[in-house]
Structure 1
Amino acid sequence: MSESQCDIGFIGAGVMGKNLILNLADNGYRVCAFDLDHNRLNALLEQDKKECGGLPARVETCNSYTELLAKVKAPHLIILSVPAGAPVDDVCSKLMDAGLKADDIVVDTGNSLWTDSVERAKRYEGKLIFFTTAVSGGEVGARFGPSLMPSGDRYAWSRIEPVWHAIAAKVDKASGQPIERFEPGSPVREGEPCAAYIGPIGSGHYVKMVHNGIEYADMQMICEAYHVMRTALGMAPEEIAEVFREWNRGPLNSYLINISAEVLSTLDSVTEQPLVDVILDRAGQKGTGLWTAMSSLEVGCPAPSIAEAVYARSLSTRKVLRTRAAQKLQGPELTQVAAEQREEVIAQLHDALYCAKICVYAQGFDLMKLAAREQGWQLNFSEIARIWRAGCIIRAVFLQSISDAYDRDPKLSNLLLDDFFTQQIADHQANWRQAVASATLNGIPVPALSSALNYYDAFRTVSLPANLLQGQRDYFGAHTFARVDQPEQRKYHVQWSEPGRPMVEI
């Protein structure tokens, strides 16, 4: 490699870091990498050598933070791919000790909690420019084009923008479909980049957090459809995979449907049985879905399907207890679907998944909208939908319709109120209701599909039973209530313990 200084310093050469570094190198950036684990740096250099095929190395490494700063052009652009939490602060502290200046930029690309990013920006003000970029797409996305959600200082964004636009996933402007090429050294340069400035510090990681919450729900609903086909229809994994492949040709076209079909088609190399049958039904989670559910409670925005997806993973971990319960607790007798009815049930599941998916996105975008109002962010929801069309885990053809909805009305109150989505649910909800009802009658749990239906029905109900709930609260706690025949800001309390129960205005 040339002795001239590198364009970018990169700290953290784990799975995501290594692939982002190679992506940067593909796009012509000279990168100097540092990691406390020298084995990772050796693996990075070996991978770069292998991909270069005899051409000069595109990446170099160093042995200290001081050496990293010496090898990178000033003002420095340093990208971090380290675990969230204390490691981020540890690296920032060591960089400052090594001579980092106030106009140097440090970009956190880990899965940090958004509030931590806000605090860091305040803490390091005047010492460095702390910027964040949430990255979605896993290791393949990092290598060949992720979806990027940057937020922070506007000046920092002006310096980072061309870098992120270069390495981000791309979509065809006319069709909205991903432009994908998985060839080292041959990056996709055409199309619209899936990277856009989200807003002030923290907003990018908040948007990514909601992305992951939607991801949890989307995955859970696909699993519920699989469970019904496996249990009530008696279908083999490969048969369900074929159904998913068919669904992937229509409005449910998505990365998650595609990989679900691939998982179901895969055989275990040891037993030659379907791989899905030898995988323990105990799901893990890294916390971002939980953060989304918690934030929805804090903001006061209903996101029940996301919460149910988190609960479903939690319940899956209670394997021993579930096994005991299966031997003791009774449910309905399972009614196997006749062969001639299979296609009808599959169509019902398709529409249930489609309608529930609309509701999950409505919940996610509503949460971002309320959080933005609370934090003073100006989020562009059409743009957020566009940068999710490729590179990220929830990438789907469906996102183009969401982007179009917010283009039609940037102030759209809720996705369900867009005419296109209103009509889509009107056309498909009968099958959705039948799918949920049939699963329930057969004792097959569909928590995400059913919670989405309950969300939809509650959302369209003018008078909810919260009037009785308010009466209950006033009875035991004197919490007051508003009247339907008076301005809402006027509050009343009933003297429940007195004869005649007089009402007083509070």
Structure 2
Amino acid sequence: MADQLFDFGLIGLGVMGRNLLLNMADHGFAVIGYNRSPQKVTDLENEITPGTTVKGTSDLKLFVNSLKSPRRITMLVQAGKPVDDVLNELIPLLSKGDIIIDGGNSHYTDTLRRVQYMQEKGFHFMGMGVSGGEEGARRGPSIMPGGDPEAYPHVKPMLEAVSAKVNGEPCVAHLGKGAAGHYVKMVHNGIEYGIMQLISEVYDVLHRGYGLTNDELHQVFKEWNDGELQSFLVEITRDIFPKVDDKTGNRLVDMILDKAGSKGTGKWTSQDAMDLGISIPTIDIAVSMRNLSALKQ
């Protein structure tokens, strides 16, 4: 495998990156992953599906030189300065026309800046939202790419292959130039915040207001998920009610601290809507409720 050239490369072998890379390999693409941590490389190699072509390395130069031209590299690293740090390490190793995709939750203004910066140096840069979490990355996420339309045909077959499918159609589309992909992902996450807050309030009214037991709540959410309210969020809410806490024997939902964290994308949606003069009260309140819950001990 030492002299082999790979179809796609991925930087950042955390769970999301590792799963997405393995997903690519399962669909017939020869892939190589890079991480500075040798342990992350080992974790990747321990999960390779037999018969697929996957390599891991902690050598960035080897990683870049092992890719077919034009190089197609996806980054799944923490948003902010780490993305710029990786780009600055990559640039001296790249060739004109290479394609870099940021698959993390970068703010769209950062993506706009990077698109321009990379374009001036002769490279293609795309911002790409990935939805579905760790399991989605492995089995089929919803993918929201944006950026240079000239670059998209080079990555479209792979993205359509690894994406989730609905009625046989891939859950991926090029959403526009610049930072369109990351902008749509930001709004997507804001909408998700609103839906989760609605689910939380419905649970609270039915449980504390109407006195429904966990078994009764399970049945209510089951009926909703069997109808027009069917969704991943309703499904996982349905499934939590019967689960038992291993330590106490009580229902798990009754043992969970009512406290939510945040990565900031919902807040960005609210902030941008305010800047644009657009009213999104459901999302605004959902962001505020998350902030309030984060104060709980």
Instruction: Identify the TM-score tier after normalising by the shorter chain.
Output: over 0.9
User: 1:157 Cα deviation (Å)?
Assistant: 0.5
Partner of 1:158: 153
User: 1:60 Cα deviation (Å)?
Assistant: 0.6
Pick one of 92, 101, 110 that aligns with 1:116. Answer: 110
Distance 2:215 2:288 in 1: 28
Deviations 1:249-292 (A, max 9, x none): 11111111000011122110111101111111111111111001
Distance 2:58 2:43 in 1: 15
- Say whether 1:68 aligns with 2:59: no
SS at match of 2:129: strand
Partner of 1:88: 83
CA RMSD of aligned residues (A): 1.2
SS at match of 1:10: strand
Identity of aligned residues (%): 43
User: 1:315 Cα deviation (Å)?
Assistant: 1.4
Q: Structure 1: 5+ residue runs without aligned partners?
A: 173-190, 321-506
Partner of 1:458: none
Distance 1:208 1:64 in 2: 31
Partner of 1:29: 29
Partner of 1:292: 269
Partner of 2:225: 248
Pick one of 136, 156, 170 that aligns with 1:141. Answer: 136
Partner of 2:243: 266
Work out the number of aligned pairs and report it: 296
The TM-score, its normalising length taken from structure 1, stands at 0.57
Please tell me whether the aligned partners of residues 102 and 126 of structure 1 are also in contact (alpha carbons under 8 angstroms).
no
Deviations 1:161-185 (A, max 9, x none): 111111111111xxxxxxxxxxxxx
Partner of 2:189: 212
Partner of 2:206: 229
Deviations 1:75-115 (A, max 9, x none): 21111111111111111111112x20221011100000011
Distance 2:163 2:21 in 1: 13
User: 1:61 Cα deviation (Å)?
Assistant: 1.6
Pick one of 277, 299, 305 that aligns with 2:282. Answer: 305
SS at match of 1:154: coil
Please tell me whether the aligned partners of residues 13 and 35 of structure 2 are also in contact (alpha carbons under 8 angstroms).
yes
SS at match of 1:124: helix
- Say whether 1:315 aligns with 2:292: yes
Distance 1:317 1:6 in 2: 44
Residue type matched to 1:25 in 2? A
Distance 1:297 1:264 in 2: 37
Pick one of 169, 177, 182 that aligns with 1:200. Answer: 177
- Say whether 1:279 aligns with 2:250: no
Residue type matched to 1:95 in 2? L
Distance 1:214 1:264 in 2: 24
Q: Structure 2: 5+ residue runs without aligned partners?
A: none
Aligned ranges for residues 458-477 of structure 1 at < 5 Å? none
SS at match of 2:119: coil
User: 1:296 Cα deviation (Å)?
Assistant: 0.8
Residue type matched to 1:207 in 2? V
Distance 1:240 1:8 in 2: 45
SS at match of 2:151: helix
Partner of 1:332: none
When structure 1 is superposed on structure 2, of 120-129 and 210-219 the one drifting more is 120-129
Distance 1:83 1:166 in 2: 25
Please tell me whether the aligned partners of residues 127 and 180 of structure 2 are also in contact (alpha carbons under 8 angstroms).
no
Please tell me whether the aligned partners of residues 38 and 57 of structure 2 are also in contact (alpha carbons under 8 angstroms).
no
Which structure's residues are more often strand, by fraction? 2
Please tell me whether the aligned partners of residues 22 and 138 of structure 2 are also in contact (alpha carbons under 8 angstroms).
yes
User: 1:2 Cα deviation (Å)?
Assistant: 7.3
Deviations 1:444-495 (A, max 9, x none): xxxxxxxxxxxxxxxxxxxxxxxxxxxxxxxxxxxxxxxxxxxxxxxxxxxx
Distance 1:2 1:192, change over 3 A: farther
Distance 1:254 1:63 in 2: 39
Please tell me whether the aligned partners of residues 217 and 305 of structure 1 are also in contact (alpha carbons under 8 angstroms).
yes
Please tell me whether the aligned partners of residues 241 and 252 of structure 2 are also in contact (alpha carbons under 8 angstroms).
yes
Aligned ranges for residues 36-75 of structure 1 at < 5 Å? 36-48=36-48, 51-52=49-50, 55=51, 58-75=53-70
Distance 2:35 2:135 in 1: 21
Distance 1:299 1:4 in 2: 50
Deviations 1:213-236 (A, max 9, x none): 010010110111110111111112
